[in-house]
Amino acid sequence: MGRVGTAIVLLAACALSALVAVVGSAQVQHAPTSAPVSPIRFRNVATESGIDFVLENSATPEKQLIETMPGGVVAFDYDGDGLIDIFFTNGASVPSLEKSQPKFRNRLYKNMGGMRFKDVTAEAGLAGIGYSMGATAADYDNDGHIDLFVTGVNSNHLYRNLGNGTFADVTQKAGIHSDVWSVAAGWFDYDKDGRLDLFVVNYLKWSPDNTLFCGDPNGPRAYCHPRFFAGLPNTLYHNRGDGTFEDVSIRTGIASHIGKGMSVAFADYDQDGFPDVFVTNDKVPNFLFHNLGNGKFEEVGLETGVALPDHGKDISAMGTDFRDYDNDGLPDIVMAALAGETFPLFHNEGKGWFRDATYHSHLGVLTNKRSGWSAAFVDFNNDGWKDLFVSGSHVNDTVEAFEATPYRLPNAVFANSRNGTFQDSSSAAGADFQMPGVHRGAAFADFNNDGKIDVVVSQIGGQAELWENTSPADNTWIDVKLSGLTSNRDGLGAHVRIGSQSNDMTSAVGYASSSLAPVHFGTGSLRQVDIEIHWPSGIRQTLRGVPTNQVVPISEPSEK
């Protein structure tokens, strides 16, 4: 036996006494309790707010895969009144994939203030076409009005905001394809030309003619595993700046990678000044597209350690977020997944690679029995540390016949313990927060301008939930509302620092969803803060002694 073997035997011998302790106790240790954190509480105010949206998936006896996948939610201020509005995607008839009845319309709710919303879908012209999946918001033409891109089954649509409360479908004119099943999309400026480009996440090859049978022939039929379908490459559109887009998927290297994409998030993981793209994939390794800065991307998921958890097995990676959770200044990655897979967390080590921190952060133990869709790092209790929200549900409505895991699940919130770990705060988040549902997309914004981030969640076959953040208002906060000049108007891609905290301006978060709102910081007991902004243009800007508890509009300076 060589040195390695000797070391192993010695270790095994040393471990004997430890095993005695194992055998002597039948108790399994759970994650250690962490230091107390400020409470996080929510109250579902959907009904009184006027949000009556029900996500219709047209469930069929044939168990068509598309039925499991809608739908996204967008939080954005479409009319520029300072109040964040809400857009929901919706399904359609199957197999026609047509919005044949009013119940299938996508829905836009205008925020009237005071947590009251009004359905303005018809007047806005956003009822939509086809079986919609996800959506993403940004001002792609830098005209000051936020536009909307809606993904769907063989039917993607770009809606230009005309600035008068209405939208125009400019898909064809803009040169956008509409021929595969797209789930999610995100806006970012990959070449830093000041114009937002569009990344579209494609899932797999599916047709309404699909007759594949999955499940127990003598028992319940089940939705088919994605392995029965061929994957697709994602699509990257370059914004030409004249209202049209060019498909640059091949030229940039994006099209070289076939996946089964679920969601997308952007951040500059290696701090080279160019935004990188993280794409979750369903039961195939995730992608991390490293932006080389020369118009090309290199897929480095495996090399950087974010393609798979450390066990090396494929997981059903769902929605994601790409943000700094431990205040070390580097964007980390979290994603939702299904029961038994945990919600993996990858910590950015700052050396060009990530460490699987799922168990170290306690999320492994806390989430192993959960299934989720939208995951987002948001500081809900304004203590200066981002917490984790995940919308809950399994994918398969007959899962209980096959596995010991529920289909309908409550949402979950994990409080950041401020030491690299999380604790499950769901049970203390409120009585109605415990209600299970078939949750999917989620968007995050301060809908009532009280300084606390609220959440809106879609639910298949059930009323959408609007979670008003009712956590104690002891801590201060500040929202940074960016306005780009050289950079894109929304400031997407800007990196904002307040003390040791950092956050990125992005609208790509969660599952098939989008949250375009000011960059939020909880500031604990601080009354004023210094704000440092690193704009996509490379311009750095610092504001000193800014009072907290306000939304601070910040325009990009004209010079470096």
Partner 1 sequence: MTLLSISAFLSLLLPPLFPQSPGAHACDSIASQALRQNGQRTFENKQFAVAAQNFQQAFDACPDEHSILLQLSEVHLRLKQFEEAIQVARHFLDLEPASTTGELALANAYFMAQRLTEAQRETFTVLKTDPANPLALKLKGNIEYFSGHLDLALGTFIALLDKHPNDEEGAYMLGRIYYQEGRIEQASGQFQRVLRINPRSYRAFDNLGLCYESLGDSEMATRSFLTAIKLVESDAPEYDWAYANLANLLLEEGNAQKAFAAASQAADRNPYSARNFYLGGKALAALGKNDLSANWLERSVALDPKYPEPLYLLARVYTQLGQLEKAQATLEKFRVVKAAAPRERK
Dihedral, 486, 490, 492, 494 alpha carbons, nearest 10:
60
The answer to whether residue 356 forms part of the interface with partner 1 (CB under 8 A) is yes
Q: Please identify which residue in 62, 119, 328, 403 interacts with partner 1, judged by CB under 8 A.
A: 403
The answer to whether residue 436 forms part of the interface with partner 1 (CB under 8 A) is no
Place of tokens 């007759």: 211
Region label for 392, one of left (φ > 0), alpha (ψ between -120 and 50) or beta (otherwise): beta
Name which of 356 and 479 has its Cβ closer to partner 1.
356
Secondary structure letter of residue 360 according to DSSP: T
Q: What are the distances in angstroms from CA 461 to CA 61, 68, 74?
A: 16, 11, 19
- CB contact at 8 A, 220 and 398: yes
Q: Please identify which residue in 95, 162, 292, 353 interacts with partner 1, judged by CB under 8 A.
A: 353
Name which of 268 and 314 has its Cβ closer to partner 1.
314
Among 428, 371, 369, 376, which residue's Cα sits nearest to residue 396?
371
> What's the rounded Cα separation, in Å, for the pair 521 and 501?
8
Name which of 63 and 370 has its Cβ closer to partner 1.
370
Least separation in angstroms between residue 389's CB and partner 1 is: 22
- CB contact at 8 A, 375 and 389: yes
Name which of 22 and 230 has its Cβ closer to partner 1.
22
Among 138, 136, 146, 178, which residue's Cα sits nearest to residue 510?
136
The answer to whether residue 225 forms part of the interface with partner 1 (CB under 8 A) is no
The answer to whether residue 405 forms part of the interface with partner 1 (CB under 8 A) is yes
The answer to whether residue 362 forms part of the interface with partner 1 (CB under 8 A) is yes
> What's the rounded Cα separation, in Å, for the pair 404 and 407?
10
Name which of 296 and 355 has its Cβ closer to partner 1.
355
Least separation in angstroms between residue 257's CB and partner 1 is: 13
The answer to whether residue 230 forms part of the interface with partner 1 (CB under 8 A) is no
Of 17-25, 433-441, 461-469, 493-501, which part binds partner 1 (CB under 8 A)?
17-25
Taken in order 87, 149, 75, 396, the sign of the CA dihedral is positive
Least separation in angstroms between residue 19's CB and partner 1 is: 4
Q: Whats the size of the chain, residue-wise?
A: 560
The answer to whether residue 23 forms part of the interface with partner 1 (CB under 8 A) is yes
Residues 290-309 that bind partner 1 (CB under 8 A): 302-303, 305, 308
Of 144-152, 330-338, 361-369, 426-434, which part binds partner 1 (CB under 8 A)?
361-369
The answer to whether residue 372 forms part of the interface with partner 1 (CB under 8 A) is no
Look at strands 197-202 and 235-239 and give their pairing. antiparallel
Least separation in angstroms between residue 10's CB and partner 1 is: 10
The answer to whether residue 314 forms part of the interface with partner 1 (CB under 8 A) is yes
The answer to whether residue 250 forms part of the interface with partner 1 (CB under 8 A) is no
The answer to whether residue 408 forms part of the interface with partner 1 (CB under 8 A) is no
Q: Please identify which residue in 369, 527, 540, 560 interacts with partner 1, judged by CB under 8 A.
A: 369
The answer to whether residue 18 forms part of the interface with partner 1 (CB under 8 A) is yes
Among 238, 162, 144, 159, which residue's Cα sits nearest to residue 485?
144
The answer to whether residue 365 forms part of the interface with partner 1 (CB under 8 A) is yes
Place of tokens 């091949």: 250
> What's the rounded Cα separation, in Å, for the pair 349 and 365?
22
Count the alpha carbons within 13 Å of 245 in the hemisphere toward its beta carbon: 28
Three-state DSSP class for residue 66: helix
The answer to whether residue 8 forms part of the interface with partner 1 (CB under 8 A) is yes
| Amino acid identity for residue 231 in this structure | G
Site residues for partner 1 per CB under 8 A: 4-5, 7-8, 11-12, 15-16, 18-19, 21-23, 26-31, 217-218, 302-303, 305, 308, 310-314, 349, 353, 355-356, 359-360, 362, 364-365, 368-369, 402-405
